[in-house]
Amino acid sequence: MALILPVKDSFPVVGEHTFLAPNCTLVGDISIGHHCSVWFNAVVRADVNYIKIGNYSNIQDNVTIHGTYEKNGTDIGNYVNIGHNALIHGCKIEDYTLIGMGAIIMDQALIQSNVIIAAGTVVLENTVCESGYLYAGVPAKKIKPLTDEQKALLQKLPHNYVMYSSWFMD
């Protein structure tokens, strides 16, 4: 069973039909929407600031999500895919985005809707990643507009993760 802990009377709230892997950790002031998944060894730690995750979003294996004390909470939209080993910290990620494996998104960064952040990319503080583009590199740079195939992937992936998580539920 997932490790779910309150902090200062703030309890994680998890929506319906959401899969929590048995060894994921949820701590504090967290709100997770419906039809989401939090995968193996992921840590969502809202001890110093809130974390909000919208509907149909997936938090893959070994992801860490946190915020900054008295400064930045973390907002994750609907239909967001956060790849294995990513680090998400005190930022805002809008709908229909893909954060690649091992990417780092830092405080007060804004990932607008319909964006792909490539694997291993580092999005520095206060960076705005504009809707409709692929970003890559250290630090992140706008590489090119998304192709039709990439846009379709952003629509499809969240539903795949609902299917994958159903294999572990009930």
Instruction: Please give the domain boundaries of the chain with CATH numbers for all domains.
Output: 3-166 (2.160.10.10)
114-155 per-position pLDDT tens digit: 999 999 999 999 999 999 999 999 999 999 999 999 999 999
How much is the average pLDDT of 3-24?
97
pLDDT surpasses 80 at 166: yes
What confidence tier does 6 reach under pLDDT thresholds 50, 70, 90? very high
Structure tokens at 16: 């319906």
What would the DSSP string read from start to end of the chain?
--EEE-BTTB--EE-TT-EE-TT-EEEEEEEE-TT-EE-TT-EEEEEEEEEEE-TT-EE-TT-EEE-BTTTB-EEE-SSEEE-TT-EEES-EE-SSEEE-TT-EE-TT-EE-SS-EEPTT-EE-TT-EE-TTEEEETTTTEEEEEPPHHHHHHHHHHHHHHHHHHHTT--
pLDDT class of 112 with cuts at 50, 70, 90: very high
**Over 80: is that where the pLDDT of 170 sits?**
no
Q: With a cut of 90, say whether residue 93 has pLDDT above it.
A: yes
At 9, is the pLDDT very low, low, confident or very high (cuts 50, 70, 90)?
Answer: very high
Q: Is 134 left (phi over 0), alpha (psi -120 to 50) or beta?
A: beta
Tell me if 146 sits within 8 A of 114, measured CB to CB. Answer: yes
